Amino acid sequence: MAYFDAASAAPLHPVARQALQASLDEGWADPARLYKEGRRARLLLDAAREAAAEAVGCRPDELSFTSSGTRAVHTGVAGALAGRRRAGRHLIVSAVEHSSVLHSAEAHEAEGGTVTQVAVDRAGRVTAASYAEALRPDTALACLQSANHEVGTAQPVAEVAEVCRAAGVPLLVDAAQSLGWGPVDGGWSLLAASAHKWGGPSGVGLLAVRKGVRFSVRGPVDERESGRAAGFENIPAIVAAAASLRAVRAEAAAEAVRLRELTERIRARVPRLVPDVEVVGDPVHRLPGIVTFSCLYVDGEALLHELDREGFSVSSGSSCTSSTLTPSHVLKAMGVLSEGNVRVSLPSATPKEDVERFLEVLPGAVAGVREKLGAPAPAAQVLPEEVVVDSLGKRCPIPVIELAKVFGDVPVGGTVRVLSDDEAARLDIPAWCEMRGQEYVGEEPADRGTAYLIRRVS
């Protein structure tokens, strides 16, 4: 079985396993106590904090261990907003942030605050200028991920941090996906990360708050972890997290070169092996191990099951795999195809042979799903100037499949009107037009759902 979902959780690093087992015998006591067992536990906790702080690029007394990366984000956002309440209640986030940031933003709005979402380009990247434009006199905090968890696009954190610094606004960076590859450059103010993303144990997060950043803990204050993480520290897990972070950093430079070559191979060969595929994410500014693509006329859940049967564990942002039947907010913000979406995120030490076998298996898996769904073959006969496709009540990817079935029958200059009440169609039909070089005219209200108008130009 080839595990290709390291962006969700990386396999436990051997160093993490060794450190965890070793510290179980020494790190079980309360590190706040002065007796021998407590002092041993405190030594382990302090050493782990120093190692993690060195990897992050901050002082040990600026770093706290939390129960997860999500908890680190929630605590960081809430604490920074509360600490700067006098400055204002305006929060800036990018449209492609992890759900932990967006949920924090929703909670802030529910409490009366205001939020600005900064748009991204088709590669999923923001610009420093867009953050500068979003800044206001009452901005209390800005958030930006270092790299995207779904498409691998790296963000210009240093440039955005400089814009925020000039305005006197702290920047919180979600570094969960990138911290294992190296420190985050730039003058960030707060940073959050999660150990299970770099091969540490789950249940350990990091929150760094620079000295001088106004920060007020929300909720009951605990004497542990500078008051930012209540409860008894899980010292064995913390030790394993810090040890594995140091270990993966030592391997990062060489492993980045190797994984980048493998993902570039996937990016280049998938469009040649599988027709009607869009590879998404920035081709240059990206993490080494993530590559994402979307396949027209494919049910994402069905494709994931096919690949699982062939021995590959991958992830997807397709609405077809979602219980809400809405596409990934990341793909939606980018304006790219969402149906049949596949994210391949390679863990360290992935063999080249596994990638080659994946490329051998993928075309057949996609073709099999398309055949089951009745995806179109090239059509040749001419029908009226406008064809109406009624896809009401049908879900991703059926509206686009039905569009493609009739599109070849429409003469150049003719149009197809697709009626759909599926939210994913609003994203996928324009993306289909972009991929096929056809004109997306726009959408119009319909008696039921929405009418999407497409003009054939070639």
Active-site choice (143, 164, 320, 433): 320
C-alpha distances (whole Å) from 221 to each of 163, 208, 226, 401 are 33, 17, 9, 55
Residue for token digits 């991920």? Answer: 145
Q: Kindly state the tokens that stand for 170.
A: 């702290």
Q: DSSP secondary-structure letter at 207?
A: E
Residue for token digits 């219980």? Answer: 323
Our separate counts of H helices and E strands in the chain read 12, 16
Q: Kindly state the tokens that stand for 62.
A: 């600026």
End-to-end CA distance of the chain: 44
One-letter amino acid of 261: E
CA dist., res. 452 & res. 443, Å (int): 4
- Secondary element (H or E) of residue 66: strand 63-66
CA dist., res. 188 & res. 21, Å (int): 35
Contact 242, 51 (CB under 8 A): yes
Among 204, 156, 170, 153, residue whose Cα is nearest residue 51: 204
Determine whether 320 is an active site residue. Answer: yes
* Torsion, Cα of 144, 145, 148, 149 (10° steps): -130
Contact 183, 252 (CB under 8 A): no
DSSP letters of 140-195?
Answer: EEEEEESB-TTT-BBP-HHHHHHHHHHHT--EEEE-TTTGGG-PPPS--SEEEEEG
C-alpha distances (whole Å) from 84 to each of 63, 81, 113 are 20, 5, 12
Contact 165, 46 (CB under 8 A): no
CA dist., res. 113 & res. 92, Å (int): 11
Contact 171, 144 (CB under 8 A): yes
Contact 156, 121 (CB under 8 A): no
One-letter amino acid of 360: E
Q: DSSP secondary-structure letter at 29?
A: S
CA dist., res. 160 & res. 71, Å (int): 24
Residue 270: phi, psi to the nearest 5?
A: -60, -45
Question: Do you know the residue count of the chain?
Answer: 458
One-letter amino acid of 174: D
Q: Which residues are catalytic?
A: 320
